[in-house]
A and B are shown apart, each in its own frame.
Chain A
Amino acid sequence: MEQLLNTLYVMTQGAYVRLDHETLKVEVEGSTQVQVPLHHLGGIICLGNVLISPGVIHACADDGRFIVMLDHVGRFKARVVGPTTGNVLLRRAQHKALDDSQKTLAIARNLVAGKIRNARTIVLRGAREAEEKEDEAGLRETANRLACSLSHLERSTAIEEVRGIEGEAARTYFSSFARLIRADRAAFTPKGRTRRPPRDRINALLSFLYALVLTDCLAAAEGVGLDPQVGYLHTLRPGRPALALDLMEEFRTVLADRVALTLVNRRQITPDHFEERPGGSVYLNDSGRREVAVAYQKRKQETVTHPLLERAEPLGMMPHIQARLLARTLRGDLPEYPPFTYR
């Protein structure tokens, strides 16, 4: 937790990841393409057809480094975990809080407040940078509506209400997302929010980024000994990492949306980075995914001041810090869950 270790993304199809003493080697067609000391890595994410040796798997499991396997479009498939460790008392507290409607409400409400504030920050920034008067006005209007949601949230008394406000705020925010896009609008205007599968370029871009953020939030939850399936804002459903999704809410705009907008507005991502499949689903292609993963890694290295710690830390550390603060709240060490917000 002291330092943000790099994540190694292995995206070359047919690559073989193996261990040579303490050094990780990525080989493609028999020749070494990448060589990194294992201790520089926090974990490894493999996309698609990537082979990984038992030596690497054992070493990572021993030291608590994560290995995550995604399919070729970035959908989560599997992860390698070592023996169950950590704090059973914490996991008990996690379950107990779920049975306590006041605790559930308090956590969910603060999570959503963090999410709405961060969404509002991005919208206001867009308004300042807007080139058209109409966009600026539209974005300011959205910011006002998000401010309204925030004050409704303060008065909410039930979890269903919190979920309703969250949904409404998300629709408001997303409906003006197109106004945040300044380059090649014709190619990048979203047709609403489409997820499974994404049906336009912006949604393809966001889906891929959200998969990366979710992976980091999962690792953060696991890292502090929380059960990633037991969440508060997201209802429990077998197979759903509800807590990782909860944690992710504060980070969607900060870690994913901002990266997507920067890539598009700086024309680092162009329509050439996408492919359309028969029937209308749209995905990033190989070079597109590479571009996005690099930008995402860079974004994680930017430092911001944490609102509670009052200390500059890389953005990539924030999910870990938040997971720890949530664990602390559940264990009664903190009176309230303080979400991550940024200016």
Chain B
Amino acid sequence: MEDEDYTIAGFEPVFLSALEHYSYCPRQCALIHVEQTFDENIYTLRGRAVHQRVHEVDSFSEEGVRVEHSLALWSNRLGLVGQADLVEFHEGVPYPVEYKYGKYRERDIEHAAVQLGGQAICLEEMTGIAVPKGAVYCHNSHRRYEITITSELRSKVQAITAAVRAMLLAGELPPPANDKRCRNCSLNAVCMPSAIGDGSKARSLVAGLFRL
């Protein structure tokens, strides 16, 4: 990351990917973007290998649609930075496509949509052209979900960006959600939602340490 990326519009830049993480679970977002506790097991490494292929910077055209891979995105207005896996230009109108790997579930599309909304806002600022739609592409099911960039989605992007920024600046880790989200969370082993809980388990374990 270059220096200037850290000084966009004078505030802490927020990564586009953080929007999806925060939308899913604020703690997940903090684990990744504040604590930097990545746990790369073999599956995420493999995912990364696939990802790297999409991320090779290039562009090509087919049937009047120009396609850009790994396009750097930013919005000075919101202080967002990141990269689009793929942006199609349909007669000049940008159409971002976000790739999802692994077992991606349909109900999580709402969180990916926030990230996509952020990409759309960046593309509008960068090109000056309105971006009405984009898509989330699920790699394993080969399905494409089209997302309309509504004004609700735009305000959600704005609110979540502000929340992520506040969290980054505070440098704190929110307590675990400890609900059904945790079951499918890739960070479960790192997060330890039930063991951490509200801290009472650790407290009683420590209290019992000295008694036999």
Chain A residues in the interface with B (C-beta under 8 A): 1-3, 39, 63-64, 85-87, 89-90, 110, 113-114, 117, 120, 147, 150-151, 153-154, 224-225, 307-310, 324-325, 328, 331-339, 341
Q: How far is the CA of A291 from the CA of B40 in the complex (A)?
A: 32
- Nearest CB in chain B to that of A333: its residue: B173
Chain B residues in the interface with A (C-beta under 8 A): 34-37, 39-42, 45, 171-173, 175, 189-190, 192, 195-196, 199, 201-203, 205-206, 209-210, 212
Question: What are the 9 A-B residue pairs with the smallest beta carbon separation, nearest first?
Answer: A154-B210, A336-B206, A335-B199, A113-B209, A2-B41, A338-B202, A338-B205, A308-B195, A309-B195
Q: How far is the CA of A120 from the CA of B203 in the complex (A)?
A: 22
Among B36, B37, B39, B45, residue most surrounded by chain A Cβ atoms (within 10 Å): B37
A150-B210, A324-B190 given; 6 more Cβ-contact pairs under 8 Å: A86-B36, A113-B209, A113-B210, A151-B210, A333-B196, A341-B209
Return 18 A-B CB contacts under 8 Å, by A number.
A1-B41, A1-B189, A1-B190, A2-B189, A63-B40, A63-B45, A86-B36, A87-B36, A150-B210, A154-B210, A225-B36, A225-B37, A307-B205, A334-B196, A335-B199, A335-B202, A336-B202, A341-B209
**B35 partner, pick from A90, A110, A154, A308, beta carbons under 8 A:** A90
**A39 partner, pick from B35, B42, B203, beta carbons under 8 A:** B42
Q: How far is the CA of A310 from the CA of B194 in the complex (A)?
A: 10
Question: Secondary structure at chain A's binding surface: helix, strand, loop or mixed?
Answer: loop
Write out the residue numbers on chain A whose beta carbons fall within 8 Å of the beta carbon of B206: 110, 336-338
**Given A89-B171, A324-B192, A334-B199 contact (CB < 8 Å):** yes
Write out the residue numbers on chain A whose beta carbons fall within 8 Å of the beta carbon of B45: 39, 63
**Are B40 and A64 interface neighbours, CB within 8 A?**
yes
Q: How far is the CA of A339 from the CA of B202 in the complex (A)?
A: 10
**Are B41 and A331 interface neighbours, CB within 8 A?**
no
**Are A308 and B190 interface neighbours, CB within 8 A?**
no
Question: Secondary structure at chain B's binding surface: helix, strand, loop or mixed?
Answer: loop
Write out the residue numbers on chain B whose beta carbons fall within 8 Å of the beta carbon of A110: 206, 209
Q: How far is the CA of A3 from the CA of B42 in the complex (A)?
A: 9
- Nearest CB in chain A to that of B192: its residue: A309
Write out the residue numbers on chain B whose beta carbons fall within 8 Å of the beta carbon of A331: 35, 173
Within the complex, what minimum Cβ distance (angstroms) separates B69 from chain A? Answer: 22
Write out the residue numbers on chain A whose beta carbons fall within 8 Å of the beta carbon of B41: 1-3
Write out the residue numbers on chain A whose beta carbons fall within 8 Å of the beta carbon of B202: 308, 325, 334-338
Write out the residue numbers on chain A whose beta carbons fall within 8 Å of the beta carbon of B175: 333
Write out the residue numbers on chain A whose beta carbons fall within 8 Å of the beta carbon of B40: 63-64
Write out the residue numbers on chain B whose beta carbons fall within 8 Å of the beta carbon of A2: 39, 41, 189
**Given A114-B209, A150-B210, A333-B196, A85-B42 contact (CB < 8 Å):** no
Write out the residue numbers on chain A whose beta carbons fall within 8 Å of the beta carbon of B42: 3, 39
Write out the residue numbers on chain B whose beta carbons fall within 8 Å of the beta carbon of A89: 34-35, 171
Q: How far is the CA of A113 from the CA of B189 in the complex (A)?
A: 26
Within the complex, what minimum Cβ distance (angstroms) separates A324 from chain B? Answer: 7
Within the complex, what minimum Cβ distance (angstroms) separates A36 from chain B? Answer: 14
Q: How far is the CA of A339 from the CA of B201 in the complex (A)?
A: 13
Write out the residue numbers on chain B whose beta carbons fall within 8 Å of the beta carbon of A325: 192, 202
Within the complex, what minimum Cβ distance (angstroms) separates B141 from chain A? Answer: 24
Write out the residue numbers on chain B whose beta carbons fall within 8 Å of the beta carbon of A87: 34-37
Write out the residue numbers on chain B whose beta carbons fall within 8 Å of the beta carbon of A154: 210
Write out the residue numbers on chain B whose beta carbons fall within 8 Å of the beta carbon of A341: 209
Write out the residue numbers on chain B whose beta carbons fall within 8 Å of the beta carbon of A153: 210
- Nearest CB in chain A to that of B198: its residue: A335
Within the complex, what minimum Cβ distance (angstroms) separates A112 from chain B? Answer: 10
